[in-house]
Structure 1
Amino acid sequence: MSQPIRKVPLTHGAQWLIRAINLGTRNPRAIFGAALLLIAVLYLVLYLFTMPLRLGADSISMDSFISTLVLAVLAAVLVLPVLLGGLMHVIREAENNRPVRARDLFAPLRLHKALPLALLGLIQIALALICGSLLLWATGPDFWSQYQDMARGAITGRITNVPSAEQPMLVILVQLAYYYFSTAVVLVSVPLIMFSGLGISDAVKRSLGASLWNLGSYLFAAMLFMFGAMITGLLVSVASLLLMQLGSLLAPTIGQLLVMALFAVYGTAFLVVMCGTCYFAWRDVFAQDEDAPTTPAAAANPGHFEA
């Protein structure tokens, strides 16, 4: 029997984000270790699939270059939902005070959830193709050729006219709809597959229904998350410049290592908050009472921030 889709108030979008920020108080070694491991695995996948570009950099053709990049992106898109499912599994176990380690990131493989999670990547690709087709229709037949001319002109220093779409408002609406539904459907489908026991088809249908039924709370959470990402991203960029300058006083390599470490920490925190927000959204909208944490201190006071 499928779980009902709950209608939640707008303010729950903020509560999901606050609880995700407070995740650092629950087994931080496992949660942040799993997020860091996710980044490492994703980087390894991209490194392996783009290795032909480095081995044959002088002789590779443009068609081979593009096909290799497309294959690398496709591999990353298929692997990412599996890793996100593993990170949400670690978050769930930590929230319920069960023993969990960073390597439980690979739990979808053990639980035989990897294939349906990977198929979510194909759905995201399909949504991107649909969005691209709508954009081609909304921008007009000459927009992309003019855009390419403008890009080539920017590289060579030649000034060209900025292309304009035939239906600019439609372009904006299509892009907003794509970003909202592709993110909401894919990210909420991950816990539905991992924890609710749904197949790929049912998970996508129910996550789509939830994204419409709880449009206000989903959008509110997304806006708060993006605003926070913009502010923190700006602060991290400034901090990286300072670290590069300070580290370069000792050696250029030290400055580069400090910046890499800073961005690794930021990326890890970004993933934890993003997956945590989606996990709490799933728990609030779909999960039954037994999915609540065993020590609900944060849930009882959702407006409280922990260090």
Structure 2
Amino acid sequence: MTTKAMGPLAGFRWLMKGINMGRHNPKAVFGGAALILVAALLPTLITMPIQFTLQPGVTGQMLIFAFSIIASMLLLPLVGGYLGLIHASESGRAARATDVFVPYRNGSWLPLVGLGLVLMVAYVLAMVAIAAVAGMDFFSWYMQLMLSAQDGAADPALLDEMPGGLGAALALGFVLWLFLSGVYAISMGQLAIGGRGVLASLGDGFVGGIKNLLPLLVLSLAGLVAVLLFALAMGLLFALVGMLSTMVGSWLLLVIGIPVYIVVLLVTYVVVFGVMYGMWRDVCGGGSVPDAPAEAVTA
């Protein structure tokens, strides 16, 4: 299966695809996203009390990190199932929220986890490439900055002593982030919907990512504008709620803030996965890929 190079405006189209996602079957699309959101929060509910109450040492922190990695890998089959759910919904076929668990039901979860492990190696190699360009001083500075920020605020002295390779590291990191985002979306779509194997899906993802760097750049810029506008709207909303809470009571912030926060997370999941699906459909799917059965998430 060949990958296509799309025009620059395809990035804007992918964003619109994500924003409009769910119009055909909102119950299944938003219900599936809610199930993934709950599954993604469960590991945090386990590790957060340990971090804040027991304050584990270095060994404990490493165990928590390993647990988080394993949990994230086990969540990848849900992503594959959700892409299959979106494909069924967009193709006009029956879909249910619980279709996100299809990979675990039909045994295709293992290739999705395998794909995630290989992509993790790619991310590590990307970090090594950034280190080679920026120098190890950058990573030493970055780790010190992150450690100081854990106490509430970053050390001002560290902010005044930024390493010389910071600009090159940021530029390379941005390009690699664009490229690997495309690789992830395309390869996951190929494995979950396109019927490709792990290595073939990765190959399609890398080739498709290289071919579509320009629309990925447009997508990132359009997404940034959308996020800024959304943040402005949310800021105005909470400013209004804050003024009302001074008259009614601070409980109003919790009553309105928590549901809004959950809705924002839910909509974000739907938009992000909708963008992934739109990218895969344009770059690899097109009209040549037959509609897969609702439970077809093959290796």
TM-score bracket for the superposition, by shorter chain length: 0.7 to 0.9
Match of 1:239 in 2: 237
Quote the offset at 1:159 in angstroms: 4.8
Structure 2 CA distance for aligned equivalents of residues 148 and 49 of structure 1:
21
- Equivalent in the alignment of 1:123: 118
Residue type matched to 2:103 in 1? P
Number of aligned residues: 288
1:62 to 41, 48, 57: 57
- The match for 1:105 is 100
**Contact 2:15–2:223 under 8 Å retained in 1:** yes
Amino acid at match of 1:116: P
Of 21, 24, 28, which residue of structure 2 is paired with 1:30? 28
1:166 maps to 164
Between 274-283 and 145-154, the greater mean CA deviation after superposition: 145-154
Q: Which amino acid in 2 is paired with 1:213?
A: K
Partner residue of 1:218 out of 216, 225, 235: 216
Quickly say closer, same or farther: Cα 1:246–1:89, change in 2 above 3 A: farther
Residue of structure 2 equivalent to 1:227 = 225
| Partner-residue secondary structure (3-state), 1:25 | coil
Give TM-score, length-normalised by structure 1.
Answer: 0.80
Shift of 1:274: 1.5
Distance in 2 of aligned mates of 1:209 and 1:215:
10
Q: Residue 131 of structure 1 aligns to which amino acid in structure 2?
A: A
> What is the alpha-carbon distance in structure 2 between the residues aligned to residue 18 and residue 225 of structure 1?
10
Q: Is the contact between residue 42 and residue 80 of structure 1 (CA under 8 Å) also seen in structure 2?
A: yes
Once residues 286 and 154 of structure 2 are traced to their aligned partners in structure 1, the CA distance between those partners, rounded to angstroms, is 60
Letter in structure 2 aligned against 1:192: Q
Letter in 2 for 1:261: P
TM-score w.r.t. length of structure 2: 0.82
Asked if 2 retains the 8 angstrom alpha-carbon contact of 1:93 and 1:99, the reply is yes
Q: CA shift at 1:130, angstroms?
A: 2.1
SS in 2 for 1:286: helix
Aligned partner of residue 93 in structure 2, secondary structure: coil
Residue in 2 aligned with 1:84? 79
Shift of 1:78: 0.9
| Cα 1:63–1:25 shift into 2, 3 Å | same
Query: More displaced, 9-18 or 201-210?
Result: 9-18
Q: Shift of the alpha carbon at 1:133?
A: 2.5
Moved more, 138-147 or 93-102: 138-147
- What one-letter code is carried by the residue in structure 2 that aligns with 1:160? A
User: Taking every aligned residue pair, what percent have the same amino acid on both sides?
Assistant: 20
Deviation of residue 43 (structure 1)?
Answer: 0.4
The one of 191, 194, 203 equivalent to 2:192 is: 194
Which residues of structure 2 form unaligned runs of 5+?
292-299
Distance 1:176 1:110, change over 3 A: same
State the secondary structure of the residue aligned to 2:157.
Answer: coil
Give the conservation status (yes or no) of the 8 Å contact 1:5–1:210.
Answer: yes
- In 2 relative to 1, CA 248–205 (structure 1 residues): closer, same or farther, beyond 3 Å? farther
- The Cα shift of 1:143 comes to 4.1
Aligned counterparts of 2:142 and 2:40: Cα–Cα separation in 1: 31
The 2-side partners of 1:285 and 1:108 are apart by 23
| Cα distance, 1:279 vs structure 2 | 0.9
CA 1:210–1:204: 2 relative to 1, 3 Å:
same
Give the structure 2 partner of residue 74 of structure 1: 69
1:141–1:292 distance in 2 versus 1, CA, 3 Å: closer
- Any conservation in 1 of the 2:85–2:96 contact (CA below 8 Å)? yes
* Equivalent position amino acid for 2:258 in 1: M
Letter matched to residue 69 of structure 2: L
Other structure's SS at 1:23 match? coil
Deviation per residue, 1:44-69 (Å, 9 max, x gap):
13323555446xx24x5321442243
1:46 aligns with 44
Q: Cα distance 1:96–1:137, how it changes in 2: closer, same or farther (>3 A)? A: closer
Q: Is the 8 Å Cα contact of residues 186 and 284 (structure 2) preserved in structure 1?
A: no
- For the structure 1 residues 108 and 236, does the alpha-carbon distance in structure 2 shift closer, same or farther, using more than 3 Å as the test? farther
**C-alpha displacement at 1:277, in angstroms?**
1.6
The RMSD of aligned alpha carbons is: 3.0
